[in-house]
Amino acid sequence: MADVTIGGQVWSVSLPNFRTLKAAWRYIAAAQASADPMDAIAAILGVVTVGSSVPVSLEALEEALRPAEMPALRPFVNALMIEIGLGGEEGPGDPLAHAPSPSTATSTPSSAPSLPDSAAPTGTA
């Protein structure tokens, strides 16, 4: 279970099985894809409505959420994703962040490998 404080109240949230995860997934995907922070916050509140141990509506959470509580929402979802096995614990990475594009510095060389001297043509026919 991951805990988050909304409206001064601690909400315990879990996604214990596929059915609950499936219900929360549209919110998780929306939080991940949104370029608008307010839309992402609303999506994270949706995750709370699905996985909360106490039934609550999205509207009630939106009404209760204080601006000072908003920065803790993304770390909460990250902790929840790690808990259910869909996020890595290997570093300070953000499971909801998009993966960086591959670097050209790590790409394969574009020139053909050179032949060893013994494999070079001798010029005799």
Cβ(4)–Cβ(76) below 8 Å: yes
Cβ(4)–Cβ(10) below 8 Å: yes
Q: pTM for the complete prediction?
A: 0.70
Cβ(46)–Cβ(28) below 8 Å: no
Phi and psi angles of residue 9, each rounded to the nearest 5 degrees, phi first: -110, 140
What amino acid is encoded at 30 in this protein? A
Q: Give the pLDDT of the chain (125 residues) as one tens digit per residue.
A: 999 999 999 999 999 999 999 999 999 999 999 999 999 999 999 999 999 999 999 999 999 999 999 999 999 999 999 999 998 655 444 555 544 444 444 445 555 555 555 555 555 55
